[in-house]
Amino acid sequence: MSRTGPWHTPLDGIYHDNSDCGTGRGLKQRIEGSGGKRLCAECGKLDRAEESLHRVQWWDGRRAIGQ
Ligand SMILES: [Zn+2]
């Protein structure tokens, strides 16, 4: 999973920013940037999952070095 720079397609009212989003990956026409649109729900979910994963890894790292 990876969060990336935003992209959108002219036909949708949403933008994507996660390379694991099935909808975003399937777009035929990709334009760089958010286009002032709102974030895709699937990308939002993936981004949140990614953030919590990073938090867990950070805590595990702290535990590993005994702090
Ligand atoms: Zn998306």
Q: What is the pLDDT of residues 10-61, one digit of tens each?
A: 989 999 999 999 999 999 999 999 999 999 999 999 999 988 888 877 777 7
pLDDT at 66 over 70: no
Closest to 6 in 3D by CA, of 40, 45, 34, 41:
34
51 CA distance to ligand 1 middle (Å): 16
57 CA distance to ligand 1 middle (Å): 25
Tell me the CA distances in angstroms from 7 to 27, 28, 34, 48, 53, one per residue in order: 10, 12, 6, 18, 23
The pairing of beta strand 3-8 with beta strand 31-32: antiparallel
- pLDDT category at 62 given cuts 50, 70, 90 is confident
Closest to 37 in 3D by CA, of 4, 3, 11:
11
